[in-house]
Amino acid sequence: MIDGGTSWYEDDDGPTVRPFAVTRGRVRINQGDLDMLTLVRAVHPRANRNGLQWEHNEILQMCVARPLSLVEVSARLDLLLAAVKVLVGDLIDAGALVVQSPARPAPPNPELLQAVLDGVRRL
């Protein structure tokens, strides 16, 4: 017993299913480069979902209302980003999800950075 009368096995011990079990041991995806900011959106929200894993169905359900980034999906499922990439890759291969790569920001303006640095130095 631990202080307060609770047993050690009543504490939260984290996820009960390991990420490699969710992906069936797969660690690579067929879909080029999926960035953590890549947006995914369900294509056919009412498509036949029989034979899909629970996690696949959850991803599709999450992405019906609006596109979500892979990092958001990862957080909502409480799974590692690497595992989510594999699951999302499965759904892309099946034609159930479409992806939109994040826009790459323009490189910073060197003159603006120098002006900020000069302003900080004057403080």
* Each residue's pLDDT expressed in tens, for the chain with a length of 123 residues: 455 555 555 555 555 556 565 655 565 666 567 888 889 999 875 665 666 777 888 889 889 888 999 999 999 988 888 888 888 888 888 888 888 887 777 888 899 999 999 999 998
Helix (H) or strand (E) holding 20: helix 19-22
pTM confidence score: 0.63
Tokens representing 20?
A: 């490699």
DSSP 40: E
CA–CA distances in Å: residue 83 to residues 6, 7, 10, 25, 68: 33, 32, 27, 10, 16
Residue type, 49: R
